[in-house]
């Protein structure tokens, strides 16, 4: 399997959940305009928040009463996929990749396999044996417990592929905030959140360094701060496409 080529590595997180979500879209927009090439971003939120996929439904996916009581914000991302809880202990990776330079990335199903292969290879080097489970999950080989969910937004020339790695997350929050999904992969076998989702024993710095080594990134290719043009785009995106949702339904109606 041909390895992905990465030109830029961005280890950039924000205190604001909306900025964390929209920065991926900024990078995709810049790539579509030819201003950046293949990019890998790693980030982690210091606060808890919930993110719906593009077509996710508040009434079906969330326990609104718990979210309102805890003051946890709810956002919507531009990609598909299911609803997730973000926060400390959940590492995120975001790929911005050209469909033109890697034929397999032009096909939705094959692209998940190609990208997951690289992630699983990194994890294997850290002694975590994981497997890909369609449509877009990574699970532990021993018990089929999910530790990574993935989703994509596909542009004309590039794709945005982002995923999670649970390593030290408060898993009780998933059952507190998220209802059982309407659509479940076969391998889940109807398991509730607490029996289906797991943390894996990796240290985030080790994972990040292995990723850097995998793509043989030079110091010049690595950024830890947002640049001026990206900040300008992010400010405009926040004004025009705020991803924050308002939970206006009565808690008892959920």
- The answer to whether position 1 is within a domain reads no
| Rounded Cα gap, residues 233 and 112, in angstroms | 28
Domain count of the fold of the chain: 1
CATH number at residue 15: 3.30.930.10
* Per-residue confidence (pLDDT) for residue 254, from 0 to 100: 41
CA-based angle 178:144:148, to the nearest 5? 55
At 251 the pLDDT is 41
Q: For the full predicted model, state whether its pTM sits above 0.85.
A: yes
Instruction: Give the position of tokens 């990194």.
Output: 122
Assigned domain for 50 exists: yes
Is 248 inside a domain boundary?
Answer: no
Residue 254 counted as domain residue = no
Task: Give 185: exposed, middle or buried? Use CB within 10 Å, 0-12, 13-18, 19+.
Answer: middle
In terms of residue numbers, what domain contains 185?
A: 8-243
**Is residue 240 exposed (0-12), middle (13-18) or buried (19+ Cβ within 10 Å)?**
exposed
Identify the pLDDT of residue 252.
44
pLDDT at 248: 57
Residue whose C-alpha is closest to residue 42's, from 27, 29, 55: 27
Cα 245 vs. chain centroid, distance in angstroms?
A: 19
Cα 201 to Cα 222: distance, rounded to the nearest angstrom: 26
Contacts of 67 (CB under 8 A, 6+ apart): 50, 74, 177, 247
Question: Is 2 domain-assigned?
Answer: no
- Angstrom distances, CA of residue 179 to CA of 77, 84, 94, 186: 18, 11, 26, 18
CB of 120 closer than 8 Å to CB of 138: yes
Is 250 inside a domain boundary?
Answer: no
Give 10-residue mean pLDDT values along the chain (254 residues). 85 97 98 97 98 94 96 96 96 96 91 96 97 96 98 97 98 98 94 98 97 91 97 96 77 43
Indicate the DSSP class of residue 224: S
């Amino acid at each position: 399997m041909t390895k992905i080529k990465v030109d830029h590595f961005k280890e950039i997180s924000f205190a604001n959940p909306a900025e964390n979500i929209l920065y991926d879209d900024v990078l995709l927009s810049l790539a579509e305009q030819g201003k950046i090439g293949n990019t890998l971003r790693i980030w982690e939120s210091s606060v808890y928040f919930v993110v719906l996929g593009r077509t996710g439904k508040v009434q079906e996916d969330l326990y609104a009463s718990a979210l309102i009581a805890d003051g946890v914000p709810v956002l919507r991302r531009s990609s598909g996929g299911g609803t997730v809880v973000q926060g400390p202990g959940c590492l995120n990776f975001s790929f911005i990749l050209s469909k033109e330079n890697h034929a397999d990335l032009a096909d939705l199903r094959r692209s998940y396999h190609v990208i997951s292969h690289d992630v699983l290879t990194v994890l294997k080097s850290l002694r975590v044996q994981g497997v890909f489970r369609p449509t877009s999950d990574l699970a532990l080989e021993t018990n089929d417990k999910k530790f990574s969910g993935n989703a994509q937004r596909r542009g004309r020339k590039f794709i945005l592929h982002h995923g999670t790695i649970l390593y030290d997350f408060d898993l009780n929050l998933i059952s507190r905030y998220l209802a059982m999904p309407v659509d479940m992969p076969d391998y889940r076998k109807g398991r509730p959140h607490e029996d289906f989702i797991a943390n894996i024993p990796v240290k985030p710095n080790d994972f990040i360094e292995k990723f850097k080594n995998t793509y043989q990134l030079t110091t010049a290719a690595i950024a830890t701060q947002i640049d001026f043009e990206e900040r300008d785009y992010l400010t405009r995106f926040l004004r025009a496409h705020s991803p924050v949702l308002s939970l206006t339904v009565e808690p008892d109606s959920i």
